[in-house]
Amino acid sequence: MQQRFKRIAIKVGSNVLTKKDGTLDFTRMSAIVDQISELHKSGVEVVLISSGAVAAGKNKVLADTLDAVSQRQLFSAIGQVKLINRYYMLFRDNGITCGQVLTTKESFHTRQHYLNQRNCMQVMIENGIIPIVNENDTISLTELMFTDNDELSGLVATMIDAQALIILSNIDGIFNGNPADPESQVIRKVLPGERDLSQYLQTSKSSLGRGGMQSKMGIASKVADEGVEVIIANGKRDNIILDLLDDSKDIVCTRFLPDEQVSSVKKWIAHSEGFCKGEIKIDNGAEKAIIADERCSILPIGIKSVSGSFEKGDIVSVVSENGVQIALGKTDYSSAEATEMIGKKGEKPIIHCDYLYVL
Ligand code: GLU
């Protein structure tokens, strides 16, 4: 079959990979691996983002004696081994080598770490190895954690320049009402500029993983706005991955149709909000200019104030005169230098347009 995508990221949630009793569902894992293997053999490059470590490592006796943080650390340490060991055997049965990439939110922070990770996955893909990514839950705690693996999958998809991201959970997609209500239907297509589906969403979260539909919607919108097609579908359905990629089949799922491609560096900036070191407030004229024309940079003359303490190369938030965040950018000056330059004419940009991501 001719494949529409050359490179895809597939995220599989804990609820897909585990049975009702919380143990790993080997039959499901095997079916998922078989489908990925088939794609791989047809020339599609796949990166798998797999949850399930904490769920697979759960132990009732220990759960009663440990606090929540220690439980997560211990269960993920035990469970990640079980998870990757099973993947290793299943891929091996298909004649394919897989490799493990464990990461942390911090590793997406500096451009150098980001590029190191990208290079690692690139070299794996080029050598026919399927990267299996998960958060390093043993050391990622509290505010250092990704919101969930949906966030991680978005970062990975944009980092590796995937054309599509498939997010598999135990529900068919985003419904236009309560999924339990027979009247509710899955929203099939979400177009650029029409991404806010919050009116339809329930607040309930995944019972095993940390994610939920709210977070999936946020990530899917952001990633699709950067030019990646995002598909939210039910990983419990047989043959779901291959069916989703078969254009002759009309599979129930929610597809976020992609906007225009954004450059690699802008994708990194777009996902760096949590790492902002400071804030640059710009005047109304500068705001209009950067919104109207993507070739506009932030010049000293349009700056009203600078706050926070940042160095050249750090990510900063760009806000309007009334404090609304409008962009993120990589600054070319430290906060001290930028402050000196406020309002000056004829100076070089504080943030060059190539490093400015307008929200
Ligand atoms: N990294 C976690 C695990 O493997 C899952 C996080 C999530 O549920 O999104 O267990």
pLDDT in tens, 320-358: 999 999 999 999 999 999 999 999 888 899 999 989 999
Q: Which atom of ligand 1 is nearest to the CA of 135?
A: 1
Q: Is the pLDDT of residue 56 over 70?
A: yes
pLDDT at position 1? 59
Q: Is the CB of 78 within 6 Å of ligand 1?
A: no
- Is the C-alpha dihedral spanning 265, 266, 267, 272 positive or negative? positive
Identity at 193, one-letter amino acid code: G
Tens of pLDDT, residues 182-217: 888 999 999 988 888 877 776 555 556 666 788 889
Band of residue 42 on the pLDDT scale cut at 50, 70, 90: very high
Q: Mean pLDDT across the stretch 3-15?
A: 94
Report the C-alpha gap between 93 and 86 in whole angstroms: 11
Q: Which atom of ligand 1 is nearest to the CA of 51?
A: 4
Q: Is the CB of 149 within 6 Å of ligand 1?
A: yes
Q: Is the CB of 53 within 6 Å of ligand 1?
A: yes
Mean residue pLDDT across the chain:
91
Q: Mean pLDDT across the stretch 247-259?
A: 93
What is the value of pTM for the model shown?
0.84
- What is the b/e burial string over 148-159, where b = at least 16 CB atoms within 10 angstroms of the residue's CB? bbbbbbbbbbbb
Residue ranges of alpha helices (H) inside the chain are 14-17, 26-41, 53-57, 60-65, 68-93, 111-126, 149-159, 213-225, 240-244, 264-270, 284-292, 335-341
> Which residue from 24, 210, 216, 219 has its CB within 8 A of the most atoms of ligand 1, so it is best to mutate?
210
Q: Is the pLDDT of residue 274 over 80?
A: no
Q: Mean pLDDT across the stretch 110-124?
A: 92
Q: Mean pLDDT across the stretch 104-132?
A: 93
Q: Mean pLDDT across the stretch 214-228?
A: 91
Q: Is the CB of 151 within 6 Å of ligand 1?
A: no
Q: Is the pLDDT of residue 5 over 60?
A: yes
| Lookup: tokens for 329 | 């950018």
* 217, 281 contact by CB (below 8 A): no
Q: Is the CB of 209 within 6 Å of ligand 1?
A: yes
